[in-house]
Amino acid sequence: MATILNLETSTKNCSVSIAKDGKLLCVVEEANEGFEHGEKLHQFIDWCVEGAGIQLANVDAICVSKGPGSYTGLRIGVSSAKGLAYGLDKKLLSINSLEILVQTQLNKGYDLIIPMIDARRMEVYTALYDGAGNKLTETEAKVIDETSFEELKGKKIVFVGDGAEKCAEILSFLDADFIQIFPSSKDMIHISNEKFSTLQFEDVAYFEPFYLKDFIAGKNKTEK
Protein backbone atom coordinates (compact mmCIF):
# COMPACT_ATOMS: atom_id res chain seq x y z
CA MET A 1 0.00 0.00 0.00
CA ALA A 2 1.03 3.62 -0.30
CA THR A 3 1.56 6.92 1.47
CA ILE A 4 0.15 9.67 -0.73
CA LEU A 5 0.30 13.46 -0.56
CA ASN A 6 -2.96 14.96 -1.95
CA LEU A 7 -3.20 18.55 -3.21
CA GLU A 8 -6.51 20.31 -4.00
CA THR A 9 -6.38 23.89 -5.36
CA SER A 10 -9.17 24.05 -7.95
CA THR A 11 -11.31 26.54 -5.98
CA LYS A 12 -10.87 29.05 -3.13
CA ASN A 13 -9.97 26.16 -0.85
CA CYS A 14 -6.24 25.47 -0.58
CA SER A 15 -6.17 21.92 0.76
CA VAL A 16 -3.40 19.40 1.54
CA SER A 17 -3.73 15.93 3.04
CA ILE A 18 -1.55 12.90 3.62
CA ALA A 19 -2.96 9.39 3.76
CA LYS A 20 -1.37 6.00 4.33
CA ASP A 21 -3.02 2.84 3.06
CA GLY A 22 -6.19 4.81 2.38
CA LYS A 23 -6.42 6.28 5.89
CA LEU A 24 -6.12 10.00 6.61
CA LEU A 25 -3.06 11.01 8.63
CA CYS A 26 -3.38 14.78 8.47
CA VAL A 27 -5.22 17.52 6.56
CA VAL A 28 -4.48 21.24 6.40
CA GLU A 29 -6.81 23.53 4.45
CA GLU A 30 -8.22 27.03 4.28
CA ALA A 31 -10.76 28.68 1.98
CA ASN A 32 -9.79 32.26 1.25
CA GLU A 33 -11.48 34.84 -0.98
CA GLY A 34 -8.05 36.12 -1.99
CA PHE A 35 -6.93 32.84 -3.62
CA GLU A 36 -3.64 32.87 -1.67
CA HIS A 37 -2.65 29.41 -2.89
CA GLY A 38 0.72 30.58 -4.14
CA GLU A 39 1.70 31.82 -0.68
CA LYS A 40 0.11 29.05 1.36
CA LEU A 41 0.35 25.76 -0.51
CA HIS A 42 3.93 24.87 0.38
CA GLN A 43 3.46 26.06 3.95
CA PHE A 44 0.43 23.77 4.22
CA ILE A 45 2.47 20.90 2.79
CA ASP A 46 5.13 21.44 5.47
CA TRP A 47 2.49 21.57 8.22
CA CYS A 48 0.75 18.46 6.90
CA VAL A 49 3.98 16.46 6.72
CA GLU A 50 4.80 17.52 10.28
CA GLY A 51 1.31 16.66 11.49
CA ALA A 52 1.43 13.25 9.84
CA GLY A 53 4.76 12.52 11.47
CA ILE A 54 6.53 11.53 8.27
CA GLN A 55 9.27 12.79 5.98
CA LEU A 56 8.22 14.22 2.63
CA ALA A 57 10.84 12.01 0.98
CA ASN A 58 8.96 8.96 2.30
CA VAL A 59 5.70 9.53 0.42
CA ASP A 60 5.12 7.18 -2.50
CA ALA A 61 3.15 9.52 -4.75
CA ILE A 62 1.79 13.02 -5.22
CA CYS A 63 -1.86 13.33 -6.25
CA VAL A 64 -3.31 16.60 -7.53
CA SER A 65 -6.77 17.78 -8.55
CA LYS A 66 -6.42 18.39 -12.27
CA GLY A 67 -9.52 20.54 -12.85
CA PRO A 68 -11.81 21.93 -13.94
CA GLY A 69 -11.74 25.00 -11.73
CA SER A 70 -9.80 28.19 -11.15
CA TYR A 71 -7.13 28.71 -13.81
CA THR A 72 -4.66 30.19 -11.33
CA GLY A 73 -5.42 27.66 -8.59
CA LEU A 74 -4.99 24.71 -10.95
CA ARG A 75 -1.76 26.10 -12.38
CA ILE A 76 -0.29 26.49 -8.88
CA GLY A 77 -1.41 23.06 -7.70
CA VAL A 78 -0.27 21.16 -10.78
CA SER A 79 3.06 23.01 -10.99
CA SER A 80 3.75 22.20 -7.33
CA ALA A 81 2.73 18.55 -7.73
CA LYS A 82 4.94 18.13 -10.80
CA GLY A 83 7.86 19.83 -9.08
CA LEU A 84 7.56 17.58 -6.03
CA ALA A 85 7.13 14.43 -8.11
CA TYR A 86 10.16 15.25 -10.25
CA GLY A 87 12.36 16.48 -7.40
CA LEU A 88 11.56 13.56 -5.10
CA ASP A 89 11.35 10.99 -7.92
CA LYS A 90 7.79 10.03 -6.96
CA LYS A 91 4.78 8.93 -8.96
CA LEU A 92 2.23 11.55 -10.07
CA LEU A 93 -1.54 10.95 -9.89
CA SER A 94 -4.45 13.21 -10.82
CA ILE A 95 -8.19 13.37 -10.12
CA ASN A 96 -10.97 15.31 -11.83
CA SER A 97 -12.07 18.00 -9.36
CA LEU A 98 -15.74 17.09 -9.82
CA GLU A 99 -15.08 13.49 -8.77
CA ILE A 100 -13.69 14.78 -5.47
CA LEU A 101 -17.03 16.45 -4.71
CA VAL A 102 -18.93 13.31 -5.70
CA GLN A 103 -17.11 11.35 -3.00
CA THR A 104 -18.90 13.35 -0.29
CA GLN A 105 -22.38 12.19 -1.40
CA LEU A 106 -21.93 8.52 -2.28
CA ASN A 107 -24.61 6.02 -1.32
CA LYS A 108 -26.86 8.55 0.43
CA GLY A 109 -30.03 7.59 -1.40
CA TYR A 110 -29.74 9.99 -4.34
CA ASP A 111 -30.53 8.91 -7.87
CA LEU A 112 -28.06 11.46 -9.21
CA ILE A 113 -25.09 13.36 -7.83
CA ILE A 114 -24.36 16.56 -9.76
CA PRO A 115 -21.14 18.32 -8.71
CA MET A 116 -20.87 22.01 -9.53
CA ILE A 117 -17.75 24.15 -9.46
CA ASP A 118 -18.40 27.87 -9.80
CA ALA A 119 -17.34 29.34 -13.16
CA ARG A 120 -18.74 32.86 -12.41
CA ARG A 121 -22.15 34.37 -13.09
CA MET A 122 -24.61 31.51 -13.77
CA GLU A 123 -22.04 29.20 -15.30
CA VAL A 124 -20.70 26.07 -13.61
CA TYR A 125 -18.39 23.18 -14.39
CA THR A 126 -20.48 20.06 -13.99
CA ALA A 127 -21.24 16.46 -14.97
CA LEU A 128 -23.80 13.82 -13.96
CA TYR A 129 -22.99 10.84 -11.74
CA ASP A 130 -25.27 8.15 -10.38
CA GLY A 131 -25.71 7.60 -6.64
CA ALA A 132 -22.79 5.17 -6.52
CA GLY A 133 -20.42 7.63 -8.19
CA ASN A 134 -20.43 6.23 -11.73
CA LYS A 135 -19.92 8.96 -14.33
CA LEU A 136 -22.88 9.35 -16.72
CA THR A 137 -21.90 12.42 -18.77
CA GLU A 138 -18.71 14.22 -19.73
CA THR A 139 -17.48 17.27 -17.82
CA GLU A 140 -18.75 20.52 -19.30
CA ALA A 141 -19.08 24.24 -18.69
CA LYS A 142 -22.83 24.84 -18.41
CA VAL A 143 -24.85 28.04 -18.11
CA ILE A 144 -27.75 27.37 -15.73
CA ASP A 145 -31.21 28.69 -16.65
CA GLU A 146 -34.87 27.80 -16.10
CA THR A 147 -34.67 24.91 -18.60
CA SER A 148 -31.52 23.29 -17.20
CA PHE A 149 -31.92 19.64 -16.10
CA GLU A 150 -35.64 19.60 -17.03
CA GLU A 151 -35.22 16.02 -18.19
CA LEU A 152 -34.31 15.02 -14.63
CA LYS A 153 -37.69 15.80 -13.07
CA GLY A 154 -38.79 12.99 -10.80
CA LYS A 155 -35.25 12.03 -9.83
CA LYS A 156 -33.85 12.53 -6.34
CA ILE A 157 -30.83 14.76 -6.91
CA VAL A 158 -28.06 16.41 -4.94
CA PHE A 159 -26.14 19.36 -6.34
CA VAL A 160 -22.84 19.69 -4.51
CA GLY A 161 -19.97 22.17 -4.72
CA ASP A 162 -19.24 25.87 -4.54
CA GLY A 163 -21.51 26.45 -7.54
CA ALA A 164 -24.55 24.72 -6.03
CA GLU A 165 -26.08 27.42 -3.84
CA LYS A 166 -26.41 30.04 -6.58
CA CYS A 167 -28.47 27.57 -8.64
CA ALA A 168 -30.94 26.63 -5.89
CA GLU A 169 -33.63 29.18 -6.73
CA ILE A 170 -33.58 28.74 -10.48
CA LEU A 171 -33.67 24.92 -10.15
CA SER A 172 -36.28 24.84 -7.38
CA PHE A 173 -38.65 22.86 -9.65
CA LEU A 174 -36.45 19.78 -9.10
CA ASP A 175 -36.55 17.35 -6.15
CA ALA A 176 -33.03 18.33 -5.14
CA ASP A 177 -30.74 19.22 -2.27
CA PHE A 178 -28.12 21.93 -2.73
CA ILE A 179 -24.92 21.52 -0.71
CA GLN A 180 -22.43 24.37 -0.84
CA ILE A 181 -18.93 23.00 -0.16
CA PHE A 182 -15.45 23.22 -1.66
CA PRO A 183 -13.50 20.24 -2.93
CA SER A 184 -11.14 18.99 -0.20
CA SER A 185 -7.97 16.93 -0.35
CA LYS A 186 -9.36 14.62 2.36
CA ASP A 187 -11.97 13.46 -0.16
CA MET A 188 -9.25 12.50 -2.65
CA ILE A 189 -7.92 9.67 -0.50
CA HIS A 190 -10.01 6.75 -1.75
CA ILE A 191 -9.51 7.58 -5.43
CA SER A 192 -5.80 8.37 -5.16
CA ASN A 193 -5.15 5.12 -3.29
CA GLU A 194 -7.10 3.16 -5.89
CA LYS A 195 -5.26 4.86 -8.76
CA PHE A 196 -1.91 4.10 -7.15
CA SER A 197 -2.89 0.45 -6.70
CA THR A 198 -3.90 0.16 -10.37
CA LEU A 199 -0.82 2.06 -11.63
CA GLN A 200 -2.78 4.97 -13.14
CA PHE A 201 0.19 7.34 -13.14
CA GLU A 202 0.62 10.58 -15.08
CA ASP A 203 3.65 11.51 -17.17
CA VAL A 204 5.34 14.18 -15.06
CA ALA A 205 6.91 15.88 -18.07
CA TYR A 206 3.74 16.24 -20.13
CA PHE A 207 0.88 16.40 -17.65
CA GLU A 208 -1.20 19.61 -17.79
CA PRO A 209 -4.26 20.86 -15.86
CA PHE A 210 -7.74 20.24 -17.27
CA TYR A 211 -8.76 23.87 -17.68
CA LEU A 212 -11.85 23.08 -19.83
CA LYS A 213 -12.08 26.75 -20.85
CA ASP A 214 -9.40 29.14 -22.10
CA PHE A 215 -8.14 31.65 -19.56
CA ILE A 216 -9.62 35.15 -19.98
CA ALA A 217 -7.84 37.89 -18.09
CA GLY A 218 -10.11 40.33 -16.29
CA LYS A 219 -9.75 44.04 -16.96
CA ASN A 220 -8.14 46.04 -14.19
CA LYS A 221 -10.83 48.10 -12.45
CA THR A 222 -8.55 51.15 -12.47
CA GLU A 223 -8.28 51.10 -16.25
CA LYS A 224 -10.43 53.49 -18.25
Domains of the chain: 3-96+184-197 (3.30.420.40), 99-179 (3.30.420)
Mean pLDDT of the chain: 94
Percent pLDDT > 90 in the chain is 91
**What letters, b where the CB count within 10 A reaches 16 and e where it falls short, cover 64-99?**
bbbbbbbbebbbbbbebbbebbeebebbbbbbbbbb
Query: For the whole model, what pTM was predicted?
Result: 0.93
Given a cut of 90, whether residue 167 has pLDDT beyond it is: yes
d(CA 149, CA 164): 13
Q: What's the CA gap between 32 and 75, in Å, rounded? A: 17
Rounded Cα distance, 42 and 77, in Å:
10
Tens digit of pLDDT for each residue in 75-117? Answer: 999 999 999 999 999 999 999 999 999 999 999 999 999 999 9
- Spatial distance between the Cα atoms of 211 and 140, rounded to a whole number of angstroms: 11
Q: What's the confidence (pLDDT) of residue 214?
A: 60
**What mean pLDDT do residues 160-188 have?**
97
Residue 74 — very low, low, confident or very high, per pLDDT cuts 50/70/90? very high
Q: What are phi and psi of 12, to 5 degrees?
A: -70, -15
- The DSSP 8-state label assigned to residue 49 in this structure reads H
Which residues lie across from 142 on neighbouring strands? 124
pLDDT at residue 212, rounded to an integer: 83
Band (pLDDT 50/70/90 cuts) for residue 34 is confident
Average pLDDT over residues 150-155: 97
Question: pLDDT: is 33 or 132 the higher one?
Answer: 132
The model's pLDDT over 39-73, given as tens digits with 9 standing for 90+, comes to 999 999 999 999 999 999 999 999 999 999 999 99
Strand partners, 93: 63
